[in-house]
A and B are shown apart, each in its own frame.
Chain A
Amino acid sequence: MRTAGWIDRIEVDEATVSVVAVVATPGPPVTVLVRANGSVLGPAVADDDGRAWRSVVDRSRVPVGSVVFDALAVGGDGLVERLDPVRWAVASLAGVDRPPASHGSAPGPVGWVDHPVDGAEEREGVLEVAGWVSPPGEVDRIEVSVDGGPPDRARLLCSPRPDLVDHLGDAGAAMAGFWHLVDVAAAGLSGEVTVAIDAVGPQRRVPLARRCVRIGPIATEASDAERRWVAALAARADAAAARCVPGEGLGLVVVTHDLGLGGAQLWLQEILRPLLWQEDVRCTVLAPIDGPLRAELEAAGARVHLMGHLPTTGAAYESTVHELALLVGSDEANVVLVNTAAPRIGVDLAARCGLPSVWAVHDHYTEQAFWRCAFGRGAVDAHVRERGRVALDQAAAVCFVAEATRAVFAPDVDDERAVVVDYGIGLGALDAARRAVDRPAWRAAHGFHSDDVVVLCTGTVDARKSQAVLVAAFARVADRHPTARLVLVGAAGEAYERGTVDLAQALGVGARVRVVPATPDVTPWYVAADAFALASDLESLPRSLIEAMAHGLPLVATEVGGVAELVADGETGILCPARDVAALATALDRLLTMPAGDRAALGARAQAAVWPARDVHDYVDGVARLLRGLAKDPSASPRELLGTAARPA
């Protein structure tokens, strides 16, 4: 930590306490939050040159006795630095009810909103809200309201803020960041809007900020020279694509976002595994970067081509299409399967090669939110966005695993091409693997007592999966359920994971929360578990949920995406709203308070709901029918191929 400034003087009169902080860091801070004994008194006001910041508060808010005054300077980049403290004696005044100095702080959370800044203009089709709030134990949720509309809940406890830990004196601040995205088009926003952000805790609601933002058109700046260059590259790519001649059999090109161990990757594995046993199938998998799935795909007979990171500029995009068109041509491919929303370049590639594509969308993002989440702020140029938008029209079939996700895409994908194929997993293999696990031995080997109640959460430890929220919720009920243990399987060494571990320590449940690295074999963990928890705030239909149900685990799940299509609240699981620590804690408490017999019955009903309805065979058969049918006749109707009727939007 570097010295960013100091508390210069403190002036106390009968009514107020005035604290003046001097900021010494280069560049003026956005704000300075003055604190007494670690509790924020309020934001300060800068003098003309921006160096001295004065905070004047009512004396009733200041503890008496020896008080440590300091301040937090919030920079333009969102980073927080602490100004050197001073200790000051604050005398008591008769007739004023003040907390003693030893008490420390006033109740309620404190925080700051980094984005949007007041008066900013948003030109990416999304309005991003980001900031921090602490301490985590005192926050249930973050509410974001635009122009007084109904509040959305921000993703909370989602971004590590190590810069806050020392300043706030709170280890839990390691995960103090919150974040939210508003799709401007979906929300119907334009012109000047006002964004209100509140932290809602068990005791009270704390307004964090009110910001005025201008919503502008999506930026499309490109010079004529750039446009001509991209057009030339596109023509070259089109020429290569035009030479593609479809071959016989099933010449499958798969374009996927990742070769890791996530749910969407395992989905791909499930699809390809039986297909690749068929003699007439050729398969080339295109992925941005390497991952553990590559070896399995190659062993299964697929060719894997690593194409580098997904392009974000027009020139890179067209060059990539050119390269991939040559590959598709050499393969005599006749159908393209695109896995997840991110590699939508695969849909464009297929269309330009004159091939049908099946686009499997597991992502629940709206169109503009997708660009921001997949690539980051300002990362994607207008050409790539436009090609991505066109891809929605080009796919011969867009395949969803949940009606809820289909509904998200309904404005962009017509009903004839949008199909829902009920997702399934290999139930037979799961059962066989399950039987091979010795539960008592596994639990003993992993340090669990026979009477421990193990709550399992599987999935990449990631902000979207909200394991930190689960940890916070678990911490709230941990005292009531002393035998409960929480196991998070899916760690990949990311900052979010480290922050989650720190949060568990800060909330006093570090010894009862275990974070386990991602593994291709999760079955023993399911067998060892007594219950399952899904805390995700963005899903289509998570594979882990089907797995948990297939294992007969009673579960708690956030009601996101297609979860409610699978879990009936109170019947096959307990549902609660996402992005709400209190709601998840209540649901967990409800589950853990159940008599063991009731929990078992809940799990049994969950198991019956997916067995055999969610077996992979039907699912693979459906996708295979789409692929083969379109390979044979690119104009075939996806619905007819699947034998499904149109579903209501």
Chain B
Amino acid sequence: MIGPADGAPAGAGDRRDRRDRGDRRDLRWPPGRPRILVTEAWLANAGDAAIAVALDRLVRRLSPTAAVLHAAYQHREIGPLVPELAVVPPLEELLGTPWSPAAPELADAGPALVEGADLVVAQGGGYLVEGYHPIARLGALAEVTRRALPLALFGVTVEPFRGALARRLLREVLGAAAVVVVRDDASCRAAADLGAPDALLGTDLAIGLFPEPPGAVAPTPPREGVSVVLTDHHADVASRPARQELATAVLARVAARSEDEPIRLWSTVQGLPEAAGEDDEAVARVALDELPAHLAARVEVVGGYLTPERAIGVVAGSRALVTMRLHPALFAAGTGTPAGLVLGGQRPRVLAGTALGAWVTDGDDLAAVSLLVDRVLAEPCPARWRWEALASLRRRLDASVDALRQLVEHPRAV
């Protein structure tokens, strides 16, 4: 099980130590072996950042002498905010691909850095979605395999792909990867369709940030009000206006049914509109503008980028959560916070097979959304059973960690 670094509370790493671990402006490996290059984190999404933190801790637990670098998107903007992670430019910038040429200043140093790795771990998340056009990412991962570097995909969602080029690259990557761990069973099927029938069923690594029940290690903070995470995010850009309408409806329902409680509007993706390409804070403000003044008066927008640590803190400080993004729901389960998830597509399948699966609706039916909000608001807090409900996912995580352990201990044996 992944735990907080050095036994500290979740998210509270030794910042001074971590800050010294690597210089982000020159591309060099910090001391230590094996050298593990973790890729694919989209740090502008605090959910992805949480996965990166969890994976970082996991690797260091498996191999205390390891040197770990995160080749991450938004490394310049977010890296300083999450000092636990030693970050470098994303893999596609380091290696360059036909779809994203390397920056001239990285032309030599980038590939050298990557080739210096003993193991490349493509961390999980939901980026292998056709609508995101992840060709450059896949091209870079394919380049890793062509350089005969051991590669592990760890905790990813793989959606069905139809585009030939993406399928070609995915087949190449999945076929050459030493380990493929997906985070839901639908991804197993998609991976099999792409020539990887032996993908392991794992889970989202973020749940590894919560190895102990809420309150077991540190006292839970006082809880007040309801958190609401809104987004118009959708792989199909054309669907975003509809998602905005849904977000407005979700907020209105929460506001209408939460009586006099304060409402905090925030998201794991906000505060970096240019770097992230989206900003849920804007969505929140549009939704807020639609509320009647007497309801809007109870709503506070928590603006700016929230680190994983802060996002988890916001959830843990709320007595309930209604979210349109996945990771806040995982944070809620880990902190025993009643939560409902309004999200379609494959991502909610992370919760399939757990009791939390009953607290999900895809948003297509507003009546179902209203019912879900009512159930969440009516649930007593804290809800320790929610942490316990993750038991099956923790077991899957442990099984996949065993696979990773072998790679970390003997990376070049692959």
Q: Please list the residues of chain A having a beta carbon within 8 angstroms of any beta carbon in chain B.
A: 249, 275-283, 298-303, 331-332
Interface hits, B160-201 → A, CB 8 Å: 162-169, 171-172, 193, 195
Q: Please list the residues of chain B having a beta carbon within 8 angstroms of any beta carbon in chain A.
A: 99, 133, 135, 162-169, 171-172, 193, 195
Question: Nearest CB to that of A284 among chain B residues?
Answer: B162
- Are A303 and B167 in contact (CB-based, < 8 A)? yes
- Are B162 and A303 in contact (CB-based, < 8 A)? yes
Q: How far is the CA of A303 from the CA of B166 in the complex (A)?
A: 12
Residue of A282, A283, A300, A332 most packed against chain B (CB within 10 A): A282
Closest 10 CB pairs between A and B?
A: A301-B168, A301-B164, A301-B167, A276-B164, A282-B162, A283-B164, A281-B164, A279-B165, A300-B168, A282-B163
Question: Nearest CB to that of A277 among chain B residues?
Answer: B165
Q: How far is the CA of A123 from the CA of B43 in the complex (A)?
A: 73
- Are A301 and B195 in contact (CB-based, < 8 A)? no
- Are A302 and B135 in contact (CB-based, < 8 A)? no
Q: Give chain A residues whose Cβ lies under 8 Å from the Cβ of B162.
A: 282, 303, 331-332
Q: Give chain B residues whose Cβ lies under 8 Å from the Cβ of A280.
A: 163
Q: How far is the CA of A332 from the CA of B163 in the complex (A)?
A: 11
Q: How far is the CA of A300 from the CA of B165 in the complex (A)?
A: 7
- Are A299 and B172 in contact (CB-based, < 8 A)? yes
Excluding A276-B165, A298-B171, A302-B167, 5 further A-B contacts by CB distance (< 8 Å) are A276-B168, A281-B165, A282-B162, A299-B168, A299-B172
- Are B195 and A282 in contact (CB-based, < 8 A)? no
- Are A302 and B172 in contact (CB-based, < 8 A)? no
Output the least CB separation between A274 and chain B (Å). 11
Q: How far is the CA of A299 from the CA of B193 in the complex (A)?
A: 11
Output the least CB separation between B182 and chain A (Å). 19
With beta carbons under 8 angstroms apart, the residue of B133, B135, B195 that contacts A298 is: B195
Output the least CB separation between A26 and chain B (Å). 55
Q: How far is the CA of A276 from the CA of B164 in the complex (A)?
A: 5
Residue of B167, B171, B195 most packed against chain A (CB within 10 A): B167
Output the least CB separation between B134 and chain A (Å). 11
Q: Give chain B residues whose Cβ lies under 8 Å from the Cβ of A298.
A: 167, 171, 195
- Are A281 and B163 in contact (CB-based, < 8 A)? yes
Q: Give chain A residues whose Cβ lies under 8 Å from the Cβ of B168.
A: 276-277, 299-301
Q: Give chain B residues whose Cβ lies under 8 Å from the Cβ of A332.
A: 162
Question: Nearest CB to that of A252 among chain B residues?
Answer: B164
Q: How far is the CA of A277 from the CA of B163 in the complex (A)?
A: 10
Q: How far is the CA of A280 from the CA of B162 in the complex (A)?
A: 10
Q: Give chain B residues whose Cβ lies under 8 Å from the Cβ of A249.
A: 163
Q: Give chain A residues whose Cβ lies under 8 Å from the Cβ of B164.
A: 275-276, 278, 281-283, 300-302
- Are B172 and A279 in contact (CB-based, < 8 A)? no
16 contacts between A and B (CB under 8 A): A276-B164, A276-B165, A276-B168, A279-B133, A281-B163, A281-B164, A282-B162, A299-B171, A299-B195, A301-B163, A301-B164, A301-B165, A301-B167, A301-B168, A303-B167, A332-B162
- Chain B at the A interface: mostly helix, strand, loop or mixed? helix
Q: How far is the CA of A298 from the CA of B171 in the complex (A)?
A: 8
Q: How far is the CA of A298 from the CA of B168 in the complex (A)?
A: 7
Q: Give chain A residues whose Cβ lies under 8 Å from the Cβ of B171.
A: 298-299, 301
Q: Give chain B residues whose Cβ lies under 8 Å from the Cβ of A331.
A: 162
Q: How far is the CA of A281 from the CA of B167 in the complex (A)?
A: 11
Q: How far is the CA of A275 from the CA of B165 in the complex (A)?
A: 9
Question: Nearest CB to that of B163 among chain A residues?
Answer: A282
Residue of B164, B165, B166, B171 most packed against chain A (CB within 10 A): B164
Output the least CB separation between A331 and chain B (Å). 6
Q: Give chain A residues whose Cβ lies under 8 Å from the Cβ of B169.
A: 301
Q: Give chain B residues whose Cβ lies under 8 Å from the Cβ of A281.
A: 163-165
Output the least CB separation between B115 and chain A (Å). 25
A301-B165, A302-B167 known; A279-B195 Cβ under 8 A: no
Output the least CB separation between B350 and chain A (Å). 25
Q: How far is the CA of A280 from the CA of B163 in the complex (A)?
A: 7
Q: How far is the CA of A301 from the CA of B164 in the complex (A)?
A: 4
Q: How far is the CA of A280 from the CA of B172 in the complex (A)?
A: 19
Output the least CB separation between B142 and chain A (Å). 12
Question: Nearest CB to that of B99 among chain A residues?
Answer: A279
Q: How far is the CA of A434 from the CA of B166 in the complex (A)?
A: 32
Output the least CB separation between B238 and chain A (Å). 11
Output the least CB separation between B190 and chain A (Å). 12
Output the least CB separation between B92 and chain A (Å). 15
Question: Nearest CB to that of B175 among chain A residues?
Answer: A299
Question: Nearest CB to that of B194 among chain A residues?
Answer: A298
Question: Nearest CB to that of B135 among chain A residues?
Answer: A279
Q: Give chain B residues whose Cβ lies under 8 Å from the Cβ of A300.
A: 164, 168
Q: Give chain A residues whose Cβ lies under 8 Å from the Cβ of B133.
A: 279
Residue of A275, A303, A331 most packed against chain B (CB within 10 A): A303
Question: Nearest CB to that of B162 among chain A residues?
Answer: A282
Output the least CB separation between B225 and chain A (Å). 44
Q: Give chain A residues whose Cβ lies under 8 Å from the Cβ of B193.
A: 303
Output the least CB separation between B133 and chain A (Å). 7
Q: How far is the CA of A298 from the CA of B175 in the complex (A)?
A: 12
Question: Nearest CB to that of B166 among chain A residues?
Answer: A301
Q: Give chain B residues whose Cβ lies under 8 Å from the Cβ of A278.
A: 164-165
Q: How far is the CA of A278 from the CA of B164 in the complex (A)?
A: 8
Q: How far is the CA of A249 from the CA of B165 in the complex (A)?
A: 13
Q: How far is the CA of A302 from the CA of B169 in the complex (A)?
A: 11
Q: Give chain A residues whose Cβ lies under 8 Å from the Cβ of B165.
A: 276-279, 281, 301
Q: Give chain A residues whose Cβ lies under 8 Å from the Cβ of B163.
A: 249, 279-282, 301
Q: How far is the CA of A282 from the CA of B164 in the complex (A)?
A: 5
Question: Nearest CB to that of B170 among chain A residues?
Answer: A301
Q: How far is the CA of A212 from the CA of B228 in the complex (A)?
A: 90
Q: How far is the CA of A541 from the CA of B193 in the complex (A)?
A: 36
Output the least CB separation between B191 and chain A (Å). 14
Q: How far is the CA of A275 from the CA of B164 in the complex (A)?
A: 9
Q: Give chain B residues whose Cβ lies under 8 Å from the Cβ of A283.
A: 164
Q: How far is the CA of A298 from the CA of B195 in the complex (A)?
A: 9
Output the least CB separation between A293 and chain B (Å). 15
Q: Give chain A residues whose Cβ lies under 8 Å from the Cβ of B172.
A: 299
Output the least CB separation between B145 and chain A (Å). 13
Output the least CB separation between B139 and chain A (Å). 11
Q: Give chain B residues whose Cβ lies under 8 Å from the Cβ of A303.
A: 162, 167, 193
Output the least CB separation between B146 and chain A (Å). 14
Q: How far is the CA of A283 from the CA of B162 in the complex (A)?
A: 7
Q: How far is the CA of A302 from the CA of B172 in the complex (A)?
A: 13
Q: How far is the CA of A281 from the CA of B130 in the complex (A)?
A: 12
Output the least CB separation between A280 and chain B (Å). 7
Q: How far is the CA of A202 from the CA of B163 in the complex (A)?
A: 61
Output the least CB separation between B152 and chain A (Å). 21
Q: Give chain A residues whose Cβ lies under 8 Å from the Cβ of B99.
A: 279
Residue of B135, B162, B169 most packed against chain A (CB within 10 A): B162
Output the least CB separation between B321 and chain A (Å). 36
Output the least CB separation between B294 and chain A (Å). 46
Output the least CB separation between A7 and chain B (Å). 66
Output the least CB separation between A453 and chain B (Å). 43
Question: Nearest CB to that of B161 among chain A residues?
Answer: A301
Q: How far is the CA of A403 from the CA of B390 in the complex (A)?
A: 69
Question: Nearest CB to that of A275 among chain B residues?
Answer: B164
Q: Give chain B residues whose Cβ lies under 8 Å from the Cβ of A299.
A: 168, 171-172, 195
Question: Nearest CB to that of A249 among chain B residues?
Answer: B163
Q: How far is the CA of A219 from the CA of B172 in the complex (A)?
A: 52
Q: How far is the CA of A526 from the CA of B148 in the complex (A)?
A: 33
Output the least CB separation between A181 and chain B (Å). 39
Q: How far is the CA of A275 from the CA of B162 in the complex (A)?
A: 14
Q: How far is the CA of A316 from the CA of B138 in the complex (A)?
A: 41
Residue of B135, B163, B168, B171 most packed against chain A (CB within 10 A): B163
Output the least CB separation between B71 and chain A (Å). 23
Question: Nearest CB to that of B167 among chain A residues?
Answer: A301
